[in-house]
Amino acid sequence: MIFSLIFWLVAIYIAMRGFSQRHRQMHRWLQRELPLWEEKNIINIEQGNTLLGLYKLKRLEPARKMDMAKALTLVGAIFVGLGVIFFVASNWQKIPAHLRAFMLLPITLFTLYAGYFFSYEKQGFSQLGRSLLLLASLFWGGAIALIGQIYNIPVSENWYIMLLWAFPIVPIAVFFKNDYVHILASFLFVIWNFLYTVNNNIANYYYPIIIFTLILPTAKNLIISRRINIIGLVGASLYCCFYKYEWLSLFISAGLLAHYLTQREERVYLYSACLSFIFWAITFFTIHQQQPNIYFLLPIGFILYLTYRDDLKENLVICLVGLMAWLNLTLASLSQIWGYAFDPLSFITFQSSLGIIIYNAGIISKKKGYLFFEVYKALGYLVTFTCTYLLSFRLVLETDTGKTNPAYLYASFFVTVIIILLIIDKARSGYFKNKDTRLELAALLATLIGNSIMLTNPQAVSVNTVVANAMLVIFALTNIFLGVEIKRPFVFTLGIVIFALFIITRYIDLGWKLKEKSLFFIVGGLIILSLGTILEKQRRKIIEKMNTQ
């Protein structure tokens, strides 16, 4: 159950990131073009700032070019550091024991001083100075590791090495404003957190405290370092699901949300806070399996408010996925309280019903002029189609125990009633007068009827397989006709893709049972090539007609 929810979270989030790619490209284009417009006096700087404020964007900082000298000095510093470490390690047994612990320390201090000298005292060698500071940080790590080897520090205590390596180089990153060292320290703290948790089997509250109070505040405009630390925090929140560290996950979630409230221009804080709260909800379930987590509604509701207030389309996807996960976890808790077993058919059809109601929310949002109606429709469509595709496999339907889980069954019918009431309300208001909206209605009703047939008769595997595949064909035909009607090539092409996917999947599903696999691949390849050629030819003709009309 937990792995299934995590899979859905990751899969849907990755898929929905694709829907927002065009939106982000337009923003980047505007950020690149504004300085050119200002330079040519098409607009002034104040008007440029107004445009950026309208879309909640910041000015692009001039890109720091990595020229040949910078690249060579950086690579050279790393090679020298690794070379010294390997040289000492290869001759370790020949060096007297009392010298081993101290021989790298003078080298480290000398390199540190040289980095300072070339950065601030010697003019024109700042890049060399920054590279030498990074080299000194690498030397320090090598010295710590070798000292640990002298005193035979056990593997279970190797997190000490990462901590002793990371902490002393933070002042170098902060006071010398060295981005390389800051990034190195960020990586080291992430590794330290992982090793500390695995080796000690306890929650590491020190890690988020260090990151929130020291590393993130000193990152400032260093985007790479901020991203590393935010990913580290979200990863720490994720593994709380498996180690059952409920309060650590909640602490990380609250810290990320607090950082967004103080630094609203950094949107990734809110995205990561929302993901972290979802992981907290999963962790809560793994600990209190028979106790529904009603507390989750407070943070997700507040984040949803911030999403609309700050116009963050991408975060709405995470919020909706989080609410879906919470509903499933709540039903799973009730199922354990009442002693019901997990049932794949009722579980998948419930997700399909949630997809339909999310799609209806998009229709309502569009009708009333609310924000993000396309996000609701895209996510609802994706969820419903994915569930229908899964149910089209006979193997999935055969795994059903024949005993439908009443918790999911009643929840599905409850959601279905809500959907029917919404459809009736839209029909009375005249929403389905046009041909394109009637196509939407046909697809919605077909999905509802198909889900109801499968839920009420779970043991009829053959009938349910036919019903699910018929729903897939309806998905394809609806997209094709709807794309032609509204003259949207993307919608039309999506219908062609679904139809091709249906044919290929069913061929593999049936043909793989043949004993002669060579015949399966040859015939399948010919069918796919012919199908692709025919469909692509017809698709281009229809799209050309759309563009000329």
The encoded tokens of residue 199 equal 């080796």
Among candidates 290, 302, 218, which has minimal Cα distance to 254? 302
Percent of the chain with pLDDT over 70: 74
User: Can you tell me the mean pLDDT for 144-149?
Assistant: 74
Q: Which residues contact 47 (CB under 8 A, 6 or more apart)?
A: none
Using the structure block, give the residue that is written with the tokens 């209806």.
360
pLDDT per position as a tens digit, 252-311: 999 999 999 998 778 899 999 999 999 999 999 999 988 999 999 999 999 999 999 998
- Distances in Å between the Cα of 348 and the Cα atoms of 319, 345, 374, 468 are 20, 5, 24, 12
CA distance 392 to 447: 13
> Could you tell me the sign of the dihedral formed by the alpha carbons of 266, 270, 275, 279, in that order?
positive
Percent of the chain with pLDDT over 90: 33
The encoded tokens of residue 19 equal 């829907």
CA distance 185 to 162: 9
* pLDDT at residue 520, rounded to an integer: 52
CA distance 445 to 419: 10
* pLDDT at residue 258, rounded to an integer: 95
What's the one-letter identity of residue 129? G
- Distances in Å between the Cα of 7 and the Cα atoms of 39, 230, 358 are 48, 21, 20
CB distance 132 to 77 below 8 Å: yes
Q: How far is CA 387 from the centre of its chain?
A: 20
pLDDT at 357 over 50: yes
DSSP 133-158: HHHHHHHHHHHHHHHHHHTT--GGGT
* pLDDT at residue 275, rounded to an integer: 95
30: region left, alpha or beta (phi > 0 left; psi from -120 to 50 alpha): alpha
- Distances in Å between the Cα of 17 and the Cα atoms of 271, 314, 396, 490 are 12, 7, 28, 17
CA distance 30 to 4: 40
Planar angle of CA 88, 94, 95, nearest 5 degrees: 65
Return the higher-pLDDT residue of 16 and 503: 503
The encoded tokens of residue 548 equal 């000329």
Q: How far is CA 422 from the centre of its chain?
A: 31
- Distances in Å between the Cα of 424 and the Cα atoms of 48, 370, 417, 445, 469 are 47, 21, 11, 12, 27
Among candidates 425, 469, 467, which has minimal Cα distance to 449? 467
CA distance 113 to 39: 43
Q: Which residues contact 389 (CB under 8 A, 6 or more apart)?
A: 472, 501, 505
The encoded tokens of residue 343 equal 């049932």
* pLDDT at residue 84, rounded to an integer: 61
pLDDT per position as a tens digit, 526-543: 666 666 566 566 666 666
- The model's pTM is 0.79
CB distance 139 to 170 below 8 Å: no
